[in-house]
């Protein structure tokens, strides 16, 4: 009995061992199934896929910049002066030719009057030269010549007793008049010193003194005439008389002679110079008014009434807001797709709902380096708009450089290009397998590329995202 029990115990151990082995094999198989399922799930999760479709593709170039006015001018006076009127303030809209600031023009107006007077004199002198002397001028010159001859004749024959008496009386009277005038002046001067509160005006004293001086000269002339009457035939007096005859004859000859070409040319030149002086005076007077050179907005006003025109910088700064400009920097790859005249869409950050357009006005011929990248400055001219634009506003421009319609589109993330050969490859999934197929590409956008051949709509682009190659990779 004991042997039977021992045998059964031995057999039971093998049974238990077999059960344990079977349990271990089953657990391992289950574990492997779980790993396979997880791997398949992970593989499915890492696959990025998209079906190729037909559609439209637009390629754009965009850049940002700040708005600036079409024109800006810091207006200054070209003549010195004191500001008398400031007719505008910052923010005013003005028209071309409108007066903004005025200077004191008293001196400039006086200079113009003087220049105009000088011009009239020059014209009169030229006209007199062309017209020749008047009959009265000729008669006066002839009378002067006759008087000079008569005076010389009288000197030669001598003065009579009666003429000497007359000369003496004239001298005595002239001397008496002089003394009376001088005494009157001296008395008034002394009176003014003694009575300052009743002193006559200095202008009155000056007139009396001038009158006394004139009477003195007349008395001297009378004295000389008396001496001449008392001493006829004096050689010196005769020489003077003969000189006066020559002078009178020369004046008469000059009047009777026609003007020379040199005289006419000089007269014309004098008129031309006087006319130029008038124009210059008018120009200086006009420059005393600061006028707007174009329609625009007054940005800054520094001018102040009573201050010199050059104080505090430019009196007025004016900007032309009839249209705005936008300078943007475009990289060397994109700038090759731009051309002058292209239509541009503009979005202003402060006015996102405003539909603004413009055109490429210019592309800089030389480059600038920004952050190590080569860029070119492109100027965009905005079309006129009612939107409340302001200089300095940030804006983005977008230029449509190419467009394709109803073409097969493949996502850029599924395309790889061999850098050595330039061949493009599209990663596709067919029959559950992912592989690359060569394709011919056309237009490329930011997200999609046109497929010309090698794939068609309905194909599935797919990549394992952990090993994805971007467009342009190897």
Q: Regarding the domain delimited by 48-57+405-467, which CATH topology (the fold level of the hierarchy) does it fall under?
A: 2.40.420
Q: What is the pLDDT of residue 31?
A: 54
**Distance from C-alpha of 336 to C-alpha of 343, rounded to nearest angstrom:** 16
The greatest distance separating any two alpha carbons of the chain, rounded to the nearest whole angstrom, comes to 215
213-237 pLDDT tens trace: 888 888 888 787 777 666 655 666 6
291-348 pLDDT tens trace: 999 999 999 999 999 999 877 789 999 999 989 999 999 999 899 999 999 999 999 9
Sign of CA dihedral 237, 238, 240, 245: positive
pTM: predicted TM-score of the whole model, two decimal places: 0.52
Q: What is the pLDDT of residue 3?
A: 52
The alpha carbon torsion through 364, 370, 375, 378 (nearest 10 deg) reads -50
**Distance from C-alpha of 223 to C-alpha of 210, rounded to nearest angstrom:** 20
Q: Which stretches of the chain drop beneath a pLDDT of 50?
A: 1, 4-5, 7-8, 12, 14-25, 28, 37, 39-42, 468-474
Q: What is the pLDDT of residue 32?
A: 62
| Same fold yes or no, 48-57+405-467 and 60-66+322-403 | no
Q: What is the pLDDT of residue 24?
A: 45
Rg, the chain, Cα only = 56
Q: What is the pLDDT of residue 393?
A: 95
Domain residue ranges in the chain: 2-47, 48-57+405-467, 60-66+322-403, 77-101+291-314, 111-271
Retrieve residue 471's tokens: 């467009």
- For 257-326, give the DSSP string: SPPPHHHHHHHHHHHHHHHHHHHHHHHHHHTTEEE-SSSEEEEEE---TTSBTTTTS-SEEEEEEEEEEE
Smallest Cα–Cα separation from 270: which of 407, 123, 70?
Answer: 123
Q: Regarding the domain delimited by 60-66+322-403, which CATH topology (the fold level of the hierarchy) does it fall under?
A: Elongation Factor Tu (Ef-tu); domain 3 (2.40.30)
């Amino acid at each position: 009995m004991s042997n039977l029990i021992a045998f059964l115990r031995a057999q039971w151990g093998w049974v238990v061992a077999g059960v344990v082995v079977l349990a271990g094999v089953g657990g391992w198989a289950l574990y492997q199934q779980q790993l396979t399922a997880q791997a398949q799930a992970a593989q499915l999760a890492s696959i990025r896929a998209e079906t190729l479709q037909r559609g439209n593709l637009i390629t754009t170039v965009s850049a940002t910049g700040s708005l600036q006015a079409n024109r800006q001018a810091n207006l200054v006076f070209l003549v010195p002066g004191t500001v008398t009127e400031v007719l505008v303030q910052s923010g005013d809209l003005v028209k071309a030719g409108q007066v903004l600031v005025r200077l004191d023009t008293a001196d400039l107006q006086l200079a113009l009057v003087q220049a105009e007077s000088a011009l009239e004199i020059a014209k009169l002198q030229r006209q007199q030269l062309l017209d020749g002397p008047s009959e009265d001028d000729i008669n006066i010159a002839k009378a002067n010549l006759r008087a000079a001859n008569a005076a010389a004749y009288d000197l030669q024959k001598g003065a009579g007793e009666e003429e000497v008496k007359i000369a003496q009386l004239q001298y005595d009277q002239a001397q008496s008049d002089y003394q009376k005038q001088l005494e009157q002046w001296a008395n008034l001067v002394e009176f003014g010193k003694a009575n300052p509160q009743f002193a006559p005006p200095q202008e009155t004293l000056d007139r009396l003194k001038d009158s006394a001086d004139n009477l003195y000269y007349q008395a001297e002339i009378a004295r000389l005439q008396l001496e001449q009457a008392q001493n006829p035939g004096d050689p010196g007096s005769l020489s003077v008389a003969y000189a006066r005859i020559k002078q009178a004859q020369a004046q008469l000859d000059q009047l009777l002679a026609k003007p020379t070409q040199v005289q006419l040319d000089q007269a014309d030149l004098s008129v031309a110079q006087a006319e130029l002086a008038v124009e210059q005076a008018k120009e200086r007077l006009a420059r005393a008014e600061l006028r707007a050179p174009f329609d625009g907005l007054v940005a800054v006003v520094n001018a102040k009434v009573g201050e010199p025109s050059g104080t505090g910088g430019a009196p007025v700064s004016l900007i032309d807001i009839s249209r705005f400009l936008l300078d943007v920097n475009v990289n060397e790859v994109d700038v090759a797709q731009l051309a002058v005249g292209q239509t541009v869409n503009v979005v202003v950050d402060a006015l996102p709902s405003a539909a603004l357009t413009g055109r490429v006005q210019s592309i800089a011929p030389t480059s600038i380096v920004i952050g190590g990248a080569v860029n070119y400055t492109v100027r965009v001219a905005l079309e006129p708009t009612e939107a409340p634009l302001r200089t300095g506003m940030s804006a983005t421009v977008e230029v449509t450089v190419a467009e394709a319609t109803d073409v097969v589109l493949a996502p850029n993330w599924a395309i790889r290009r061999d850098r050595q050969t330039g061949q493009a490859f599209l990663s596709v999934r067919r029959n559950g397998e992912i592989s690359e197929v060569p394709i011919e590409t056309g237009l490329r956008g930011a997200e999609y590329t046109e497929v010309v051949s090698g794939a068609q709509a309905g194909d599935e682009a797919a990549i394992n995202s952990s090993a994805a190659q971007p467009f342009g990779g190897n």
